[in-house]
């Protein structure tokens, strides 16, 4: 199978970036336009009809021989974190394209239609809120989503309007009108690097996912009082950064003593931001995840109490804005078992894992059964330029996808 082709595509797409010397491709950026053009060309080569929807999702569709049959959705995201690796998201878009090209080469026509989607936003980098692409694809963007602003103050509404050259309300309605209906779908299958160490430890190239952890994200604003760093005595200060720092250490402590909880302050802006001025305002993100929603909710209560105490003791104001909330999502047992059979055929045994990372499947699960295939990545490293999945492991994943599509075809043949 065309594993060299897949590796070449991953390398080429890995150079399509908004920042020189590193891979950064965010929602509706110039690099995303170039990426969609490149991947759209590969989709066309594989025999797919290509369109881009109003929120920048790239969609390639191939009809099945049975016009009444349902549609299988495959895909992942084409946006990246800052200074990203080449595999997160892109593997799940490119691998299905190569699998469909392989079936075409073998002269296999599937009875059902397949739609391969490159979602335009999954990472939550630009607007500190993830899944804008998949929500837009399903016509689920809310008024609150459209009001979110990036670091330059541009709202999601404006970004979409500029990208699609249309009024955003109409654009979002148009997407909603074209969104697939549950009764027309067979399910959604996403291939993704594991982004963790389990497959490597188990010496397996691929595994299936049983569930995706629930996730809450916030933007916190701490307001104190800016002032002269040389003349304001320490007891008289209201230092917003010192408060945010104490909170960050507390976040780490709560996560460390709660089994399975992960919590991260990942981006922070200090204003006015000068060596000789006491920080007057700090805005930072907070990301909290756990496989059990009850544990995540209880941690959020503790974090809320911690922030209140720090604000009171330091004479600060603090404001929370929830930018994202997703409950834990279970993958479909039936679709996952089907994928597991292809995994067993390819590597002898399957393994089931819980995903701590969020995936487009979270949003798709509100519409249709989902399944995920994880691919081993070196050292479990991801969200890092050294992220790596070997061609051999990607080759196993490709064999699994082709086998899965053939088995689905047999099952749905009339
Ligand atoms: C997506 O990569 C996430 O943050 O889980
Ligand atoms: Mn991803
Ligand atoms: Mn990611």
Q: Are residues 253 and 378 in the same domain?
A: no
pLDDT of residue 412: 86
Any idea what the CATH number is for the domain that residue 175 is in? Answer: 3.40.630.10
Please give all residues whose CB falls under 5 A of ion ligand 3, grouped by chain where several chains appear: 88
Nearest ligand 1 atom to the CA of 81 is 2
| Range 72-91 burial, b when 16+ CB lie within 10 A, else e | bbbbbbbbbbeebbbbbbbb
Query: 54 CA to middle of ligand 2, Å?
Result: 21
User: From CA 189, how far away is CA 143, in angstroms rounded?
Assistant: 29
Give the binding-site residues of ligand 1, using a 6 Å CB cut-off.
Answer: 123, 357-358
Query: Both 264 and 322 in a single domain?
Result: yes
Handedness of CA 336, 339, 340, 343 (dihedral sign): negative
Q: Measure Cα distances from 309 to 218, 255, 300, 301, 313 in Å.
A: 18, 18, 14, 13, 6
Cβ 339 vs Cβ 373: under 8 Å = yes
What is the model's pLDDT at position 165? 84
Distance 372 CA to ligand 3 centre (A): 15
Bridge partners (DSSP) listed for residue 265: none
Total length of the chain: 414
Q: What confidence score (pLDDT) does residue 177 get?
A: 86
The pLDDT averaged over each successive group of 10 residues in the chain (414 residues) is: 91 98 97 98 97 95 92 98 98 98 95 98 93 95 92 94 85 85 97 97 97 96 98 98 98 97 96 98 97 97 98 98 94 98 97 95 97 98 97 98 97 80
Which pLDDT value is given to residue 1? 61
Take residue 200 and report the two structure tokens written for it: 């490597």
**What is the tally of structural domains in the chain?**
2
The CATH number given to whatever domain includes residue 307 is: 3.30.70.360
> Could you tell me how far CA 123 lies from the centroid of its own chain?
4
Of 294, 326, 358, which closes a domain?
Answer: 326
Instruction: Using the 3D structure, point to which of 309, 326, 343 is the last residue of a domain.
Output: 326
pTM of the shown model: 0.89
Q: Tell me, yes or no, whether 105 and 53 share the same domain.
A: yes
Tell whether 246 and 194 lie within a shared domain.
no
Is there a single domain that holds both residue 38 and residue 148?
Answer: yes
- Domain limits for position 390: 3-213+328-413
Nearest to 382 by CA among 183, 86, 32, 67: 86
Three-state SS letters, 15-32: CCCCCCCCCCCCCCCHHH
pLDDT of residue 206: 98
pLDDT value of residue 414: 63
Q: What is the pLDDT of residue 171?
A: 82
The Cα angle at residue 27 between residues 8 and 196, in degrees rounded to 5: 60
Q: Examine the fold and report which residue of 307, 326, 345 is the final residue of a domain before the chain moves on.
A: 326
Same domain, 320 and 342: no
pLDDT of residue 321: 95
CA–chain centroid gap for 85, Å, is 13
Distance 78 CA to ligand 3 centre (A): 10
> What is each CA distance from 262 to 137, 249, 257, 259, 380, in whole angstroms?
29, 13, 10, 9, 16
Ligand 2 center to 88 CA (angstroms): 5
pLDDT of residue 168: 80
- Domain identity same for 12 and 59: yes
Q: 267 and 189, same structural domain? A: no
């Amino acid at each position: 199978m065309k594993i060299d082709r897949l590796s070449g595509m991953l390398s080429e797409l890995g150079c399509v970036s908004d920042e020189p010397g590193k891979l950064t491709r965010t929602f509706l950026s110039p690099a995303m336009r170039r990426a969609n053009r490149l991947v759209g060309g590969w989709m066309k080569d594989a025999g797919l009809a290509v369109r881009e929807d109003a929120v920048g999702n790239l969609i390639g569709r191939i009809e099945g021989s049975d016009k009444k049959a349902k549609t299988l959705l495959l895909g992942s995201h084409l946006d990246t974190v800052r200074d990203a690796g080449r595999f997160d998201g892109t593997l799940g878009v490119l691998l299905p394209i190569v699998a469909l090209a392989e079936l075409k080469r073998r002269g296999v026509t599937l009875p059902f239609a397949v739609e391969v989607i490159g979602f335009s936003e999954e990472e939550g980098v630009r607007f500190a809120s993830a899944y804008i692409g998949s929500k837009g694809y399903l016509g689920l963007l809310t008024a609150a989503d459209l009001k979110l602003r990036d670091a330059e103050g541009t709202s999601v509404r404006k970004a979409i309007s500029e990208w699609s050259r249309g009024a955003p309300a109409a654009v979002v309605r148009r997407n909603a009108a074209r969104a697939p209906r549950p009764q027309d779908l067979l399910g959604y299958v996403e291939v993704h690097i594991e982004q963790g160490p389990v497959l490597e430890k188990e010496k397996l190239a691929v595994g299936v996912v049983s569930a995706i952890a629930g996730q809450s994200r916030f933007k916190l604003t701490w307001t104190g009082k800016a002032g002269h760093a040389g003349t304001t005595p320490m007891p008289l200060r209201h230092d917003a950064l010192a408060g945010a720092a104490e909170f960050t250490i507390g976040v780490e402590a709560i996560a460390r003593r709660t089994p399975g909880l992960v919590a991260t302050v990942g981006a922070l802006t200090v204003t006015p931001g000068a060596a000789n001025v006491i920080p007057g305002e700090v805005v930072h993100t907070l990301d909290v995840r756990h496989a059990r929603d009850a544990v995540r909710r209880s941690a959020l209560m503790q974090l809320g109490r911690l922030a209140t105490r720090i604000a009171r003791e330091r004479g600060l104001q603090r404001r929370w804005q929830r930018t994202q909330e997703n409950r834990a999502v279970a993958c479909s047992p039936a679709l996952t078992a089907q994928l597991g059979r292809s995994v067993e055929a390819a590597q002898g045994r399957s393994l089931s894992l819980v995903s701590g990372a969020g995936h487009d499947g979270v949003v798709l699960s509100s519409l249709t059964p989902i399944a995920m295939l994880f691919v081993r990545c070196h050292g479990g490293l991801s969200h890092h330029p050294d992220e790596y999945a070997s061609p051999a492991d990607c080759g196993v994943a490709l064999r699994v996808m082709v086998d899965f599509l053939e088995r689905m075809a047999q099952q749905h043949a009339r």
